Structure 1
Amino acid sequence: MRPVTRGLVGLAVFLLIWEVVGRSGITERRFLPPPSDVLGSLGEILVDGKFQSDVVATVLALVVSVAIAVLIAVPLGLLLGSFPVARHATRAVVEFLRPIPSVAFIPLAVVMLGVGPETKITLAVYAAVWPILFNTIYALDEVEDLHLETARAFGYSRVRTILSISLPSAVPFVLTGVRLASSIGLVVLISTEMIAGGRLGIGTFINVAREGAGRMDLLLAATVVAGAIGYLVNAAFDVAQRRWVSWSSLTRSAS
Protein backbone atom coordinates (compact mmCIF):
# COMPACT_ATOMS: atom_id res chain seq x y z
CA MET A 1 0.00 0.00 0.00
CA ARG A 2 1.40 3.38 -1.03
CA PRO A 3 2.04 6.06 1.62
CA VAL A 4 -0.66 8.30 0.12
CA THR A 5 -3.19 5.48 0.23
CA ARG A 6 -2.28 4.65 3.82
CA GLY A 7 -2.71 8.30 4.72
CA LEU A 8 -6.16 8.42 3.13
CA VAL A 9 -7.19 5.22 4.91
CA GLY A 10 -6.04 6.66 8.23
CA LEU A 11 -7.95 9.89 7.56
CA ALA A 12 -11.10 7.93 6.64
CA VAL A 13 -10.89 5.89 9.86
CA PHE A 14 -10.42 9.05 11.92
CA LEU A 15 -13.44 10.73 10.29
CA LEU A 16 -15.55 7.60 10.77
CA ILE A 17 -14.74 7.46 14.49
CA TRP A 18 -15.47 11.17 14.79
CA GLU A 19 -18.80 10.71 12.99
CA VAL A 20 -19.81 7.86 15.30
CA VAL A 21 -18.84 9.77 18.44
CA GLY A 22 -20.58 12.92 17.21
CA ARG A 23 -23.85 11.08 16.60
CA SER A 24 -23.72 8.71 19.58
CA GLY A 25 -24.79 11.24 22.18
CA ILE A 26 -21.60 10.86 24.22
CA THR A 27 -21.17 14.61 23.81
CA GLU A 28 -23.71 17.23 22.82
CA ARG A 29 -23.84 17.64 19.09
CA ARG A 30 -23.53 21.41 19.32
CA PHE A 31 -20.21 20.97 21.13
CA LEU A 32 -18.81 18.24 18.87
CA PRO A 33 -20.65 18.24 15.55
CA PRO A 34 -19.93 15.21 13.32
CA PRO A 35 -17.86 15.64 10.14
CA SER A 36 -21.01 15.56 8.00
CA ASP A 37 -22.26 18.73 9.75
CA VAL A 38 -18.84 20.36 9.50
CA LEU A 39 -18.69 19.53 5.79
CA GLY A 40 -22.03 21.24 5.23
CA SER A 41 -20.82 24.30 7.14
CA LEU A 42 -17.59 24.25 5.14
CA GLY A 43 -19.56 24.49 1.91
CA GLU A 44 -21.53 27.33 3.48
CA ILE A 45 -18.55 29.48 4.41
CA LEU A 46 -16.58 28.82 1.22
CA VAL A 47 -19.20 30.74 -0.77
CA ASP A 48 -19.46 33.47 1.85
CA GLY A 49 -17.81 36.65 0.60
CA LYS A 50 -16.92 37.79 4.11
CA PHE A 51 -15.09 34.53 4.88
CA GLN A 52 -13.32 34.67 1.53
CA SER A 53 -12.03 38.11 2.52
CA ASP A 54 -10.90 36.65 5.85
CA VAL A 55 -8.95 33.92 4.07
CA VAL A 56 -7.33 36.38 1.67
CA ALA A 57 -6.33 38.64 4.57
CA THR A 58 -4.67 35.79 6.46
CA VAL A 59 -2.90 34.39 3.38
CA LEU A 60 -1.59 37.81 2.33
CA ALA A 61 -0.36 38.45 5.87
CA LEU A 62 1.40 35.07 5.79
CA VAL A 63 3.12 35.85 2.47
CA VAL A 64 4.29 39.26 3.73
CA SER A 65 5.44 37.83 7.07
CA VAL A 66 7.49 35.02 5.55
CA ALA A 67 9.01 37.35 2.93
CA ILE A 68 10.12 39.82 5.61
CA ALA A 69 11.43 36.98 7.79
CA VAL A 70 13.54 35.68 4.88
CA LEU A 71 14.95 39.15 4.18
CA ILE A 72 15.95 39.45 7.83
CA ALA A 73 17.02 35.90 8.72
CA VAL A 74 19.04 34.85 5.66
CA PRO A 75 21.53 37.78 5.63
CA LEU A 76 21.76 37.65 9.43
CA GLY A 77 22.31 33.89 9.31
CA LEU A 78 25.04 34.28 6.70
CA LEU A 79 26.71 36.92 8.85
CA LEU A 80 26.56 34.94 12.09
CA GLY A 81 27.48 31.68 10.39
CA SER A 82 30.47 33.14 8.57
CA PHE A 83 31.94 35.24 11.38
CA PRO A 84 32.40 33.26 14.61
CA VAL A 85 33.13 36.44 16.57
CA ALA A 86 29.69 37.86 15.70
CA ARG A 87 28.05 34.50 16.37
CA HIS A 88 29.52 34.21 19.87
CA ALA A 89 28.88 37.86 20.68
CA THR A 90 25.15 37.58 19.91
CA ARG A 91 24.55 34.05 21.23
CA ALA A 92 23.26 35.16 24.65
CA VAL A 93 20.78 37.62 23.13
CA VAL A 94 19.57 35.13 20.53
CA GLU A 95 19.14 32.32 23.05
CA PHE A 96 17.23 34.68 25.34
CA LEU A 97 14.80 35.93 22.67
CA ARG A 98 14.25 32.70 20.75
CA PRO A 99 12.22 30.76 23.37
CA ILE A 100 9.82 33.66 24.05
CA PRO A 101 6.50 32.85 22.34
CA SER A 102 5.19 35.51 19.99
CA VAL A 103 1.76 35.52 21.64
CA ALA A 104 3.41 36.83 24.83
CA PHE A 105 4.07 40.07 22.95
CA ILE A 106 0.45 40.55 21.83
CA PRO A 107 -0.47 43.08 24.58
CA LEU A 108 2.68 45.11 23.89
CA ALA A 109 2.18 44.93 20.13
CA VAL A 110 -1.46 46.05 20.43
CA VAL A 111 -0.45 49.05 22.55
CA MET A 112 2.31 50.03 20.12
CA LEU A 113 0.73 49.12 16.78
CA GLY A 114 -3.01 48.85 17.39
CA VAL A 115 -5.17 45.98 16.16
CA GLY A 116 -4.46 46.35 12.46
CA PRO A 117 -2.55 43.92 10.21
CA GLU A 118 0.76 45.43 11.35
CA THR A 119 0.39 43.72 14.73
CA LYS A 120 -0.13 40.19 13.47
CA ILE A 121 2.49 40.56 10.73
CA THR A 122 5.09 41.82 13.22
CA LEU A 123 4.45 38.92 15.60
CA ALA A 124 4.46 36.39 12.75
CA VAL A 125 7.79 37.77 11.49
CA TYR A 126 9.26 37.43 14.98
CA ALA A 127 8.17 33.79 15.13
CA ALA A 128 9.21 32.96 11.57
CA VAL A 129 12.70 34.44 11.77
CA TRP A 130 14.12 31.80 14.13
CA PRO A 131 13.81 28.59 12.07
CA ILE A 132 15.19 30.34 8.98
CA LEU A 133 18.00 31.95 10.95
CA PHE A 134 19.17 28.77 12.68
CA ASN A 135 18.87 26.66 9.52
CA THR A 136 21.03 29.20 7.69
CA ILE A 137 23.63 29.30 10.46
CA TYR A 138 23.89 25.53 10.75
CA ALA A 139 23.94 25.16 6.96
CA LEU A 140 27.21 27.08 6.86
CA ASP A 141 28.71 24.58 9.30
CA GLU A 142 28.05 21.87 6.68
CA VAL A 143 29.90 23.61 3.84
CA GLU A 144 32.82 21.47 2.68
CA ASP A 145 36.17 22.81 3.88
CA LEU A 146 37.65 21.89 0.51
CA HIS A 147 35.32 24.35 -1.22
CA LEU A 148 36.28 27.14 1.16
CA GLU A 149 39.98 26.38 0.84
CA THR A 150 39.69 26.36 -2.95
CA ALA A 151 37.98 29.76 -2.85
CA ARG A 152 40.77 31.14 -0.68
CA ALA A 153 43.38 29.67 -3.01
CA PHE A 154 41.80 31.58 -5.90
CA GLY A 155 41.89 34.78 -3.89
CA TYR A 156 38.17 35.12 -3.24
CA SER A 157 37.23 37.78 -0.73
CA ARG A 158 35.12 36.81 2.30
CA VAL A 159 31.99 38.39 0.81
CA ARG A 160 32.49 36.68 -2.55
CA THR A 161 33.04 33.35 -0.82
CA ILE A 162 29.82 33.76 1.13
CA LEU A 163 27.80 34.66 -1.96
CA SER A 164 29.30 32.11 -4.35
CA ILE A 165 30.05 29.16 -2.03
CA SER A 166 28.21 29.41 1.28
CA LEU A 167 24.86 30.76 0.10
CA PRO A 168 24.26 28.19 -2.68
CA SER A 169 25.19 25.40 -0.26
CA ALA A 170 22.76 26.76 2.32
CA VAL A 171 19.75 27.04 -0.01
CA PRO A 172 18.26 23.57 0.75
CA PHE A 173 18.53 24.24 4.49
CA VAL A 174 17.06 27.73 4.07
CA LEU A 175 14.06 26.34 2.19
CA THR A 176 13.49 23.82 4.96
CA GLY A 177 13.58 26.70 7.44
CA VAL A 178 11.09 28.64 5.32
CA ARG A 179 8.73 25.64 5.30
CA LEU A 180 8.86 25.50 9.09
CA ALA A 181 8.53 29.27 9.35
CA SER A 182 5.42 29.26 7.16
CA SER A 183 3.63 26.80 9.44
CA ILE A 184 4.68 28.67 12.57
CA GLY A 185 3.74 32.01 11.02
CA LEU A 186 0.26 30.76 10.11
CA VAL A 187 -0.34 29.60 13.69
CA VAL A 188 0.81 32.94 15.10
CA LEU A 189 -1.29 34.93 12.63
CA ILE A 190 -4.51 33.08 13.44
CA SER A 191 -3.78 33.13 17.18
CA THR A 192 -3.18 36.88 17.08
CA GLU A 193 -6.38 37.42 15.09
CA MET A 194 -8.29 35.45 17.72
CA ILE A 195 -6.76 37.20 20.74
CA ALA A 196 -6.19 40.73 19.49
CA GLY A 197 -9.16 40.89 17.17
CA GLY A 198 -9.21 42.94 14.00
CA ARG A 199 -11.50 43.40 11.05
CA LEU A 200 -10.40 40.51 8.83
CA GLY A 201 -8.75 37.11 9.18
CA ILE A 202 -9.54 33.45 9.77
CA GLY A 203 -8.87 33.92 13.48
CA THR A 204 -11.36 36.80 13.58
CA PHE A 205 -13.97 34.58 11.94
CA ILE A 206 -13.31 31.81 14.49
CA ASN A 207 -13.56 34.33 17.32
CA VAL A 208 -16.97 35.50 16.10
CA ALA A 209 -18.19 31.92 15.54
CA ARG A 210 -17.45 30.90 19.12
CA GLU A 211 -19.26 33.87 20.66
CA GLY A 212 -22.96 34.08 21.42
CA ALA A 213 -24.71 30.82 20.60
CA GLY A 214 -21.38 29.27 19.65
CA ARG A 215 -21.40 27.83 16.14
CA MET A 216 -18.91 25.03 16.69
CA ASP A 217 -19.61 23.71 13.19
CA LEU A 218 -18.49 27.00 11.65
CA LEU A 219 -15.49 27.13 13.97
CA LEU A 220 -14.35 23.65 12.94
CA ALA A 221 -15.01 24.40 9.27
CA ALA A 222 -12.77 27.47 9.48
CA THR A 223 -10.16 25.36 11.26
CA VAL A 224 -10.25 22.87 8.39
CA VAL A 225 -9.62 25.72 5.95
CA ALA A 226 -6.65 26.91 8.03
CA GLY A 227 -5.24 23.37 8.08
CA ALA A 228 -5.69 23.09 4.32
CA ILE A 229 -3.80 26.36 3.79
CA GLY A 230 -0.93 25.12 5.94
CA TYR A 231 -0.83 21.81 4.08
CA LEU A 232 -0.83 23.47 0.66
CA VAL A 233 1.90 25.94 1.61
CA ASN A 234 4.09 23.14 2.94
CA ALA A 235 3.44 21.00 -0.15
CA ALA A 236 4.29 23.93 -2.45
CA PHE A 237 7.65 24.47 -0.75
CA ASP A 238 8.34 20.73 -0.86
CA VAL A 239 7.68 20.63 -4.62
CA ALA A 240 9.81 23.75 -5.16
CA GLN A 241 12.67 22.27 -3.17
CA ARG A 242 12.58 19.00 -5.09
CA ARG A 243 12.29 20.68 -8.47
CA TRP A 244 14.62 23.67 -8.18
CA VAL A 245 17.15 22.57 -5.59
CA SER A 246 18.09 19.35 -7.28
CA TRP A 247 21.35 18.87 -5.44
CA SER A 248 19.48 18.54 -2.12
CA SER A 249 17.57 15.58 -3.54
CA LEU A 250 20.79 14.03 -4.77
CA THR A 251 22.33 14.48 -1.34
CA ARG A 252 19.39 12.75 0.33
CA SER A 253 19.54 9.89 -2.18
CA ALA A 254 23.28 9.44 -1.69
CA SER A 255 22.94 9.33 2.09
Structure 2
Amino acid sequence: MISARLLRGAAGVAGFLVAGELLIRFALPEGVEFPPPSTVLPEAGRLLVNGEFLQGVVTTMANWAAGLLLAIAVGVPAGVLLGAVPPVERALRPILEFLRPIPSVAIIPLAILLIASDSLMKITVTAYACLWPVLINTLYGMRDVDPIAKDSLRSFGFGPLAVLWRVSVPASAPFMAAGIRIASGVALILAVSAELFAGGTAGIGVFVIKAGSVLRLDLIVAATLWAGVLGLLVNLALVAVERRVFHWHRARTGEAV
Protein backbone atom coordinates (compact mmCIF):
# COMPACT_ATOMS: atom_id res chain seq x y z
CA MET A 1 0.00 0.00 0.00
CA ILE A 2 2.85 2.35 0.79
CA SER A 3 4.54 1.63 -2.55
CA ALA A 4 1.26 2.32 -4.35
CA ARG A 5 0.98 5.66 -2.56
CA LEU A 6 4.54 6.51 -3.51
CA LEU A 7 3.89 5.62 -7.14
CA ARG A 8 0.74 7.75 -7.23
CA GLY A 9 2.61 10.62 -5.60
CA ALA A 10 5.51 10.31 -8.04
CA ALA A 11 3.08 10.22 -10.96
CA GLY A 12 1.36 13.33 -9.65
CA VAL A 13 4.66 15.20 -9.29
CA ALA A 14 5.78 14.13 -12.78
CA GLY A 15 2.47 15.20 -14.27
CA PHE A 16 2.69 18.55 -12.51
CA LEU A 17 6.21 19.15 -13.82
CA VAL A 18 5.26 18.23 -17.38
CA ALA A 19 2.17 20.46 -17.26
CA GLY A 20 4.26 23.30 -15.81
CA GLU A 21 6.89 22.91 -18.53
CA LEU A 22 4.28 23.04 -21.29
CA LEU A 23 2.39 25.92 -19.71
CA ILE A 24 5.49 28.06 -19.21
CA ARG A 25 6.92 27.38 -22.67
CA PHE A 26 3.75 27.74 -24.73
CA ALA A 27 1.03 29.50 -22.73
CA LEU A 28 2.68 32.41 -20.91
CA PRO A 29 1.80 35.87 -22.27
CA GLU A 30 4.47 37.58 -24.32
CA GLY A 31 6.90 39.51 -22.14
CA VAL A 32 6.32 37.33 -19.04
CA GLU A 33 9.39 35.30 -18.15
CA PHE A 34 9.44 32.41 -15.72
CA PRO A 35 11.94 29.54 -15.57
CA PRO A 36 10.47 26.17 -16.56
CA PRO A 37 11.07 23.00 -14.51
CA SER A 38 13.77 21.91 -16.97
CA THR A 39 15.77 24.97 -15.91
CA VAL A 40 14.86 25.04 -12.21
CA LEU A 41 15.54 21.38 -11.40
CA PRO A 42 19.20 21.38 -12.54
CA GLU A 43 19.76 24.59 -10.55
CA ALA A 44 18.14 22.95 -7.53
CA GLY A 45 20.55 20.04 -7.92
CA ARG A 46 23.52 22.38 -8.08
CA LEU A 47 22.39 24.10 -4.88
CA LEU A 48 23.17 20.85 -3.04
CA VAL A 49 26.87 21.60 -3.53
CA ASN A 50 26.57 25.36 -3.09
CA GLY A 51 28.29 26.21 0.20
CA GLU A 52 26.49 29.54 0.62
CA PHE A 53 23.08 27.95 0.15
CA LEU A 54 23.86 25.03 2.47
CA GLN A 55 25.04 27.44 5.17
CA GLY A 56 21.79 29.32 4.69
CA VAL A 57 19.80 26.11 5.14
CA VAL A 58 21.65 25.40 8.39
CA THR A 59 20.93 28.93 9.67
CA THR A 60 17.25 28.81 8.70
CA MET A 61 16.73 25.37 10.25
CA ALA A 62 18.51 26.45 13.44
CA ASN A 63 16.12 29.40 13.79
CA TRP A 64 13.23 27.09 12.88
CA ALA A 65 14.17 24.58 15.59
CA ALA A 66 14.77 27.24 18.26
CA GLY A 67 11.47 28.98 17.53
CA LEU A 68 9.53 25.72 17.49
CA LEU A 69 11.08 24.48 20.74
CA LEU A 70 10.36 27.82 22.43
CA ALA A 71 6.74 27.66 21.29
CA ILE A 72 6.43 24.10 22.64
CA ALA A 73 8.00 25.10 25.97
CA VAL A 74 5.43 27.89 26.37
CA GLY A 75 2.39 26.54 24.51
CA VAL A 76 2.11 23.06 26.01
CA PRO A 77 2.20 24.14 29.71
CA ALA A 78 -0.09 27.09 28.95
CA GLY A 79 -2.57 24.84 27.14
CA VAL A 80 -2.52 22.32 29.98
CA LEU A 81 -3.12 25.09 32.52
CA LEU A 82 -5.99 26.62 30.56
CA GLY A 83 -7.55 23.23 29.95
CA ALA A 84 -7.21 22.11 33.56
CA VAL A 85 -8.45 25.35 35.14
CA PRO A 86 -11.55 26.59 33.26
CA PRO A 87 -11.84 29.90 35.21
CA VAL A 88 -8.34 30.86 34.03
CA GLU A 89 -9.22 29.90 30.46
CA ARG A 90 -12.42 32.01 30.57
CA ALA A 91 -10.49 34.99 31.97
CA LEU A 92 -7.79 34.82 29.30
CA ARG A 93 -9.99 33.83 26.36
CA PRO A 94 -10.63 37.45 25.18
CA ILE A 95 -6.88 38.15 25.08
CA LEU A 96 -6.19 34.92 23.21
CA GLU A 97 -8.93 35.59 20.70
CA PHE A 98 -7.55 39.08 20.13
CA LEU A 99 -3.94 38.00 19.60
CA ARG A 100 -4.50 34.78 17.68
CA PRO A 101 -5.91 36.27 14.42
CA ILE A 102 -3.05 38.79 14.08
CA PRO A 103 -0.97 37.67 11.05
CA SER A 104 2.41 36.60 12.35
CA VAL A 105 4.18 38.13 9.35
CA ALA A 106 2.72 41.51 10.32
CA ILE A 107 4.70 41.58 13.57
CA ILE A 108 8.07 41.17 11.83
CA PRO A 109 8.61 44.92 11.25
CA LEU A 110 7.73 45.60 14.90
CA ALA A 111 10.09 42.85 16.05
CA ILE A 112 12.88 44.33 13.92
CA LEU A 113 12.45 47.64 15.76
CA LEU A 114 12.18 46.15 19.24
CA ILE A 115 14.76 43.33 19.16
CA ALA A 116 18.31 44.32 18.40
CA SER A 117 19.69 40.80 17.91
CA ASP A 118 18.99 39.55 14.39
CA SER A 119 18.92 35.87 15.37
CA LEU A 120 16.78 36.50 18.47
CA MET A 121 14.31 38.53 16.43
CA LYS A 122 13.84 35.73 13.91
CA ILE A 123 13.48 33.12 16.64
CA THR A 124 10.96 35.27 18.48
CA VAL A 125 8.64 35.84 15.52
CA THR A 126 8.89 32.15 14.63
CA ALA A 127 8.00 31.16 18.18
CA TYR A 128 5.05 33.59 18.24
CA ALA A 129 3.61 32.09 15.07
CA CYS A 130 4.10 28.52 16.32
CA LEU A 131 2.61 29.23 19.73
CA TRP A 132 -1.00 29.27 18.60
CA PRO A 133 -1.30 25.83 16.96
CA VAL A 134 0.49 24.25 19.94
CA LEU A 135 -1.54 26.13 22.56
CA ILE A 136 -4.95 25.69 20.94
CA ASN A 137 -4.46 22.01 20.13
CA THR A 138 -3.26 21.31 23.67
CA LEU A 139 -6.28 23.15 25.07
CA TYR A 140 -8.68 21.18 22.85
CA GLY A 141 -6.92 17.96 23.80
CA MET A 142 -7.44 18.71 27.48
CA ARG A 143 -11.13 19.29 26.82
CA ASP A 144 -11.42 15.97 24.97
CA VAL A 145 -10.22 13.86 27.92
CA ASP A 146 -12.76 11.22 28.91
CA PRO A 147 -14.41 12.46 32.15
CA ILE A 148 -15.12 8.87 33.18
CA ALA A 149 -11.39 8.12 33.19
CA LYS A 150 -10.75 11.12 35.44
CA ASP A 151 -13.62 10.20 37.78
CA SER A 152 -12.36 6.63 37.99
CA LEU A 153 -8.94 7.79 39.15
CA ARG A 154 -10.47 10.18 41.65
CA SER A 155 -12.56 7.34 43.07
CA PHE A 156 -9.31 5.59 43.99
CA GLY A 157 -8.22 8.58 46.02
CA PHE A 158 -5.93 10.32 43.54
CA GLY A 159 -5.72 14.09 43.79
CA PRO A 160 -6.07 16.71 41.02
CA LEU A 161 -2.37 16.75 40.12
CA ALA A 162 -2.22 12.96 39.90
CA VAL A 163 -5.31 12.91 37.67
CA LEU A 164 -3.76 15.62 35.50
CA TRP A 165 -0.45 13.79 35.15
CA ARG A 166 -1.79 10.24 34.82
CA VAL A 167 -4.90 10.84 32.68
CA SER A 168 -5.34 14.32 31.20
CA VAL A 169 -1.82 14.92 29.87
CA PRO A 170 -1.35 11.44 28.30
CA ALA A 171 -4.83 11.55 26.76
CA SER A 172 -4.23 14.97 25.23
CA ALA A 173 -0.71 14.11 24.00
CA PRO A 174 -1.90 13.19 20.45
CA PHE A 175 -3.51 16.63 20.16
CA MET A 176 -0.27 18.22 21.33
CA ALA A 177 1.65 16.26 18.71
CA ALA A 178 -0.75 17.37 15.98
CA GLY A 179 -0.34 20.98 17.08
CA ILE A 180 3.44 20.64 16.98
CA ARG A 181 3.28 19.15 13.49
CA ILE A 182 1.13 22.03 12.25
CA ALA A 183 3.41 24.52 14.00
CA SER A 184 6.50 23.01 12.33
CA GLY A 185 5.24 24.12 8.92
CA VAL A 186 4.30 27.55 10.23
CA ALA A 187 7.75 27.85 11.81
CA LEU A 188 9.51 27.30 8.48
CA ILE A 189 7.32 29.89 6.77
CA LEU A 190 8.08 32.49 9.44
CA ALA A 191 11.79 31.65 9.59
CA VAL A 192 12.16 32.31 5.86
CA SER A 193 9.79 35.31 5.92
CA ALA A 194 11.80 36.96 8.70
CA GLU A 195 14.93 36.55 6.60
CA LEU A 196 13.20 38.10 3.60
CA PHE A 197 12.12 41.10 5.70
CA ALA A 198 15.24 41.59 7.81
CA GLY A 199 18.00 40.15 5.65
CA GLY A 200 21.09 39.00 7.53
CA THR A 201 24.26 37.14 6.76
CA ALA A 202 22.84 33.69 5.98
CA GLY A 203 19.54 31.89 5.50
CA ILE A 204 17.31 30.62 2.71
CA GLY A 205 15.51 33.97 2.64
CA VAL A 206 18.84 35.82 2.50
CA PHE A 207 19.94 33.61 -0.41
CA VAL A 208 16.68 34.43 -2.22
CA ILE A 209 17.26 38.17 -1.70
CA LYS A 210 20.77 37.91 -3.14
CA ALA A 211 19.52 35.87 -6.10
CA GLY A 212 16.85 38.49 -6.75
CA SER A 213 19.41 41.29 -6.68
CA VAL A 214 21.15 39.74 -9.69
CA LEU A 215 17.86 38.81 -11.41
CA ARG A 216 18.40 35.04 -11.05
CA LEU A 217 14.78 33.96 -11.03
CA ASP A 218 15.85 30.36 -11.56
CA LEU A 219 17.83 30.43 -8.30
CA ILE A 220 14.92 32.04 -6.46
CA VAL A 221 12.55 29.28 -7.57
CA ALA A 222 15.14 26.55 -6.89
CA ALA A 223 15.76 27.82 -3.34
CA THR A 224 12.01 28.09 -2.77
CA LEU A 225 11.63 24.52 -4.01
CA TRP A 226 14.13 23.28 -1.43
CA ALA A 227 12.31 25.20 1.30
CA GLY A 228 9.17 23.31 0.34
CA VAL A 229 11.04 20.01 0.34
CA LEU A 230 12.37 20.71 3.84
CA GLY A 231 8.85 21.41 5.06
CA LEU A 232 7.59 18.21 3.46
CA LEU A 233 10.36 16.11 5.01
CA VAL A 234 9.76 17.57 8.47
CA ASN A 235 6.03 16.89 8.18
CA LEU A 236 6.60 13.30 7.01
CA ALA A 237 8.99 12.68 9.90
CA LEU A 238 6.53 14.03 12.46
CA VAL A 239 3.67 12.02 10.94
CA ALA A 240 5.79 8.87 11.21
CA VAL A 241 6.53 9.63 14.87
CA GLU A 242 2.84 10.23 15.57
CA ARG A 243 1.87 6.92 13.96
CA ARG A 244 4.44 5.01 15.96
CA VAL A 245 3.96 6.71 19.34
CA PHE A 246 0.21 7.29 19.24
CA HIS A 247 -0.97 4.22 17.35
CA TRP A 248 -3.47 3.58 20.15
CA HIS A 249 -5.10 6.95 19.47
CA ARG A 250 -5.39 6.22 15.76
CA ALA A 251 -7.00 2.87 16.53
CA ARG A 252 -9.44 4.48 18.95
CA THR A 253 -10.51 7.19 16.51
CA GLY A 254 -10.66 4.81 13.56
CA GLU A 255 -8.15 6.80 11.49
CA ALA A 256 -6.71 4.91 8.56
CA VAL A 257 -3.04 3.96 8.81
| Residue in 2 that maps onto 1:53 | 55
SS in structure 2 of the partner of residue 59 of structure 1: helix
- Indicate the RMSD between aligned Cα atoms, in angstroms: 1.8
**Residue type of the alignment partner of 1:230:** G
In the TM superposition, what whole-angstrom CA distance separates every residue of 1:66-90 from its partner, at most 9, and x where no partner exists?
1111110111000000111000000
Mapping for residues 39-188 of structure 1, pairs under 5 Å: 39-114=41-116, 116-188=118-190
Q: Which moved more, 1:88-97 or 1:103-112?
A: 103-112
SS in structure 2 of the partner of residue 180 of structure 1: helix
How far, CA to CA, are the matches of 1:54 and 1:167 in structure 2? 37
| Residue in 1 that maps onto 2:213 | 211
| Residue in 2 that maps onto 1:239 | 240
Per the alignment, do residues 5 and 29 of structure 1 end up closer, same or farther by CA in structure 2, a change over 3 Å counting?
A: farther
- Choose from 180, 188, 191 the match for 1:189: 191
**Residue type of the alignment partner of 2:132:** W
Q: Structure 2: any 5+ residue segments left out of the alignment?
A: none
In the superposition, the TM-score normalised over structure 2's length comes to: 0.93
How far, CA to CA, are the matches of 2:127 and 2:22 in structure 1? 41
Deviation, 1:254, is 7.2
**Residue type of the alignment partner of 2:18:** L
Q: Which moved more, 1:199-208 or 1:225-234?
A: 199-208
In the TM superposition, what whole-angstrom CA distance separates every residue of 1:70-116 from its partner, at most 9, and x where no partner exists?
11011100000011100000000000000011111112211121361
How far, CA to CA, are the matches of 2:67 and 2:188 in structure 1? 9
**Residue type of the alignment partner of 1:217:** D
Deviation, 1:28, is 6.8
**Residue type of the alignment partner of 1:77:** G
How far, CA to CA, are the matches of 2:224 and 2:117 in structure 1? 22
Identity %: 39
| Residue in 2 that maps onto 1:20 | 22
Q: Which moved more, 1:2-11 or 1:82-91?
A: 2-11
Deviation, 1:29, is 9.1
**Residue type of the alignment partner of 1:198:** G
Deviation, 1:22, is 2.7
How far, CA to CA, are the matches of 1:29 and 1:195 in structure 2? 28
Deviation, 1:31, is 2.9
Contact 1:30 1:215 in 2 (8 A): no
| Residue in 2 that maps onto 1:222 | 223
Q: Which moved more, 1:92-101 or 1:106-115?
A: 106-115
**Residue type of the alignment partner of 2:107:** F
- Number of aligned pairs? 254
How far, CA to CA, are the matches of 2:229 and 2:254 in structure 1? 29
Contact 1:46 1:52 in 2 (8 A): yes
In the superposition, the TM-score normalised over structure 1's length comes to: 0.94
In the TM superposition, what whole-angstrom CA distance separates every residue of 1:179-228 from its partner, at most 9, and x where no partner exists?
1000011111111110111111101111111123x111100100111001
